[in-house]
Amino acid sequence: PIYLDYAATTPVDKNVLQDMIQYLTIDGIFGNTASRSHQFGWLAEESVDIAREKIAALINVDPREIIFTSGATESNNLAIKGCCDFYKKKGQHIITSSVEHKSVLDTCRYLEQKKYQVTYINPKSNGIISLNEIKKNINKNTILISIMYANNETGTIQDIYQISHICKKNNILFHVDATQAIGKLPLDLKTINIDLMSFSAHKIYGPKGIGVLYIKRKPRIRLSAQIHGGGHERGMRSGTLPVHQIVGMGTACYIAQKNILHESSYLFQLRNYLWKGICKIQEIYLNTNLKNSTPHILNVSFNYIEGESLIMALKNLAVASGSACTSSSLEPSYVLRALGLKDELAHSSIRFSIGRFTTKKEINYTIHAIHKAIIKLRQLSPLWEM
């Protein structure tokens, strides 16, 4: 099958793997960074420092502001729980949106059980969260606003620049889940006031199981640790550092930074080419805001077609129906529902996500396969009379 699920995960870039492989075996650098008394530890630590610099460079921050975690899920948990825990005397109210990733939403639900108040803002039908809605919901107890940069199902981008101004003006911390944006949308944290930012390696051709939380140092943001132990990562996240994973993420970020403009424009053109190839299909609905989205995601719905049969008919295409992260449930996508889509359209949605290794030939095949599948399924559909 053709892989069109890059928003779920990406294959590791061969250059990333080559670097990682040197950090595992007896003839490589396999030491524990906590071993301060010998060279094996020092070499490992040096490698982590270099990787941390590459990751920091991608978003233009100080390497000391980067904390390693197991991925964006953990980063989101640490950012939100850690912040609420540490600043609870200041207030107990959070603002987020109803279209965040589950790792943000479920963390917020958990905090609600702990008596925090959470406001979930619904986006407008174009997918964008209104700045006025955010402002309206701020109160004297609001300590944190958590809004994603780009949505994982639709690709839609939020106006984090304006939201950061609102946060600064009201003295509220701002957390951004940038998992889908990193490596696609250039982001210079010297030009925007973000206090906490999550992202992970496996969406940018790095290994799974490693991510970071950016934590601002000036002014210094404090968090309560969620994983306690040996005091690694400035006490914010204990656990022996997975040096090979970190090195892999470093190389992945380095490559992403080098290629970001070229790669984004390639993805943008390819994504729009795919849309052009299928947009003439009758009763097709675009769920991605093409003018305001990451270049790698295209989300569409097909009316009068059942989602599951569509996926079956497209079995040569590895695509996602709804969010891959929640596809174990049969509920229609909560993200599409929040945009006002009726259940049938949410059910018959497909997320195509392309990446570094997607070719035009693959997109041509995809366009052809979709046309074929839709014609066949609509012939079978009792609801379709055209």
CA–CA separation, 18 and 30 (whole Å): 15
| C-alpha of 200 from chain center | 8
- Has 325 been annotated as catalytic? yes
Residues that bind ligand PMP (CB under 6 A): 71-73, 101, 103, 148, 152, 177, 179-180, 200, 211, 325
Q: Do the annotations mark residue 325 as ligand-binding?
A: yes
Other C-beta atoms lying within 10 Å of the C-beta of residue 368: 12
Question: What type of residue sits at position 97?
Answer: S
Closest CA to 272 of 352, 160, 179, 159: 352
Query: Do 158 and 133 contact (CB within 8 A), yes or no?
Result: no
DSSP SS3 for 181: coil
CA–CA separation, 199 and 151 (whole Å): 13
CB of 178 to ligand PMP, least distance (A): 8
Classify residue 282 as exposed, middle or buried by CB count within 10 Å of its CB (0-12, 13-18, 19+).
Answer: exposed
Q: Which is nearer to ligand PMP, 166 or 249 (CB)?
A: 249
Length of the chain (residues): 386
Q: Which is nearer to ligand PMP, 61 or 72 (CB)?
A: 72
CB of 329 to ligand PMP, least distance (A): 15
Query: Do 248 and 206 contact (CB within 8 A), yes or no?
Result: yes
Q: Do the annotations mark residue 324 as ligand-binding?
A: no
CB of 55 to ligand PMP, least distance (A): 14
Q: Which is nearer to ligand PMP, 101 or 378 (CB)?
A: 101
Query: Do 99 and 152 contact (CB within 8 A), yes or no?
Result: no
Q: Do the annotations mark residue 72 as ligand-binding?
A: yes
CB of 9 to ligand PMP, least distance (A): 7
Query: Do 150 and 185 contact (CB within 8 A), yes or no?
Result: yes
Question: Which residue is at the shortest CB distance from ligand PMP?
Answer: 71
DSSP SS3 for 218: coil
CB of 349 to ligand PMP, least distance (A): 16
The residue annotated as part of the active site, out of 83, 84, 253, 325, is: 325
CA–CA separation, 202 and 10 (whole Å): 6
Q: Do the annotations mark residue 201 as ligand-binding?
A: yes
CA–CA separation, 146 and 27 (whole Å): 44
Q: Which is nearer to ligand PMP, 45 or 233 (CB)?
A: 233
Q: Which is nearer to ligand PMP, 102 or 168 (CB)?
A: 102
Q: Give me the active site residues, please.
A: 325
Annotated binding-site members for [2Fe-2S] cluster: 325
Annotated binding-site members: 72-73, 152, 180, 200-202, 240, 325
